[in-house]
């Protein structure tokens, strides 16, 4: 437990460093600095005010993301690896983080209202594409853990609900040469799915189904229905509905898999999952993070049996349930 005023103030003022970093990312300062540049040179390239740009760059130095030699600013090791778009480790999701940062300003309003009080639609195609690209990078990083958490024996065809870039379908098909997958997502997203799938050389085995997963029919004949990072977007009632849809779509003996933040019954751990629940309150109409008991209840109510839970990462778990053979 905290005991000092300083500890409280450190939390209250932590947003300042966060906002400064996100502003630098949005203004492309780290990619513009090159091998070393002055504030005036950077400001001219990105179209900003020189004095204010220098003040922001100075803060990047105090955060140990840059160094300053005379009037020249130089990226530090972490900035070069994670904040410059050229590398595989680029944190492209920070552009989406900057978008959600603005939404968090309405957290008090959302808590009063019990739901998001802002528009939850993509504000542009560019933002949507950047989000999908960022999620693709992140998903590739934890795809191995997801694949290892699933028993793929007997799986010929899977449905990847809200599968985005198709990163998990790609990983599952690469792990088992006999699997085919269908990625269900919105039309603007599936055009990106097909691009990533083609780059992986899997267009003949991974197809797409366009539409909202709440409104579009799932089809039938699947051996595995996967919900990865999906249930936290939806309300409890919507997730109950989705589990029933999945139960109807999966073959007898097939599996429904839920991969997400799965909270302890007191909703305190994992701690980042507790914080993420607020992110869902701010950014969705009814999203939340859910407990194992809640998710298990939806699956059992749909008619499933044989529940199994596996930890897949620091914050995530996989919960699977099987449809009875008869």
Q: 312 near 145, Cβ under 8 Å?
A: yes
Q: Which residues contact 162 (CB under 8 A, 6 or more apart)?
A: 184, 185, 213, 227, 228, 229, 230, 233
61 class by beta-carbon count within 10 Å (0-12 exposed, 13-18 middle, 19+ buried): middle
Tell me how far the alpha carbon of residue 79 is from its chain's centroid. Answer: 22
Structure tokens at 319: 């919960």
**C-alpha to C-alpha distance for 249 and 178, rounded to whole angstroms:** 20
Q: Is 98 exposed, middle or buried (0-12, 13-18, 19+ CB in 10 A)?
A: middle
DSSP for 186-221, written as a single string: -HHHHHHHHHHHHHTT-TTTEEEEES-TTTS---S-
Active-site residues: which are they? 232
């Amino acid at each position: 437990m905290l005991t000092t005023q300083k500890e409280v103030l450190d939390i209250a003022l932590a947003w300042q460093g966060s906002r400064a970093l996100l502003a630098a990312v949005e203004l492309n300062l780290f990619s513009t600095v090159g091998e070393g540049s002055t504030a005036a040179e950077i400001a001219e390239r990105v179209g900003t005010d020189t004095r204010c740009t220098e003040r922001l760059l100075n803060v990047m130095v105090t955060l140990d993301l840059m160094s300053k030699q005379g009037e020249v600013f130089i990226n530090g090791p972490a900035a070069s690896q994670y904040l410059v778009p050229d590398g595989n480790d680029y944190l492209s999701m920070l552009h989406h983080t900057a978008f959600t940062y603005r939404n968090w300003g309405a957290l008090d309003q959302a808590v009063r209202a019990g739901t998001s009080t802002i528009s939850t639609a993509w504000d542009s195609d560019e933002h949507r594409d950047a989000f999908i690209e960022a999620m693709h990078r992140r998903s590739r990083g934890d795809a191995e853990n997801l694949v290892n958490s699933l028993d793929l024996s007997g799986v010929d065809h899977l449905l990847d609900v809200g599968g985005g870039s198709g990163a998990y379908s790609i990983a599952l098909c690469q792990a088992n040469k006999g699997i085919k997958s269908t990625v269900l997502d919105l039309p603007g997203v599936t055009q990106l799915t097909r691009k990533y799938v083609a780059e992986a050389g899997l267009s003949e085995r991974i197809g797409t189904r366009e539409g909202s997963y709440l409104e579009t029919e799932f089809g039938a004949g699947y051996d595995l229905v996967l919900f990865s990072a999906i249930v936290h977007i939806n309300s409890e009632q919507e997730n109950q509905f989705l589990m029933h849809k999945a139960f109807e779509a999966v073959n007898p003996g097939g599996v429904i898999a839920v991969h997400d933040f799965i909270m302890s019954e007191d909703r305190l751990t994992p701690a980042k999952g507790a914080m993420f629940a607020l992110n869902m309150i701010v950014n969705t109409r009814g999203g939340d993070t859910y407990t194992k008991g809640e998710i298990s209840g939806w699956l059992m109510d749909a008619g499933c049996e044989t529940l199994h839970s596996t930890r897949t990462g620091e914050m995530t778990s996989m919960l699977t349930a099987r449809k009875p053979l008869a």
